[in-house]
Amino acid sequence: MSSDAQRPQIPQDMKAFNEKLVQEYRASGGRLSGPMEGSRLLLLTTTGAKSYAQRTVVVGYRPYGDRYAIIASNNGAPRSPYWFANLQANPVATVEVGPDKFQAKARVAEAAERAEVAKLIDYLERQQALTSREIPIVVLERV
């Protein structure tokens, strides 16, 4: 089986798909319908590393104490998602979890913490199997 056969189904126009999800998320206070219903998703608004434009994406998360853990998997692609580069350049982002909206500082979990947080992210292993790079685990902490 090729690695492409194992990849999640990705919409043809990811930008349009993402914009529609963001609109639905905000309109419903975080309760999505269809295939996304019941998923633990948050909205992450980063500042562009080069453009300085605000960009919002929908990202899966897991609670990590009073923080949130997300992974920069990019659906198993060889490169991290652009929002990860944005956070590396500008680590303060806006996070929306359901109706709650707040500023958070992002950091990458280092080795010992990574092992602890990885246990909380049930889909990390599936995503990691799709790529040879180590998928970063990002911890979001309220500021």
- Segment 21-70, tens digit of pLDDT: 899 999 999 988 888 888 899 999 999 999 999 999 999 999 999 999 99
- Under 8 Å between Cβ of 142 and 102: yes
For the entire predicted model, the pTM comes to 0.88
Cα–Cα distance measured from residue 117 to residue 70, given in angstroms and rounded to the nearest whole number? 10
Helices (H), the chain: 3-6, 14-28, 82-89, 111-118, 124-128
CATH number for the segment(s) 3-142:
2.30.110.10
Three-class DSSP category at 17: helix
Average pLDDT over residues 80-106: 97
Domain positions in the chain are 3-142
Q: What pLDDT does 7 receive? A: 46
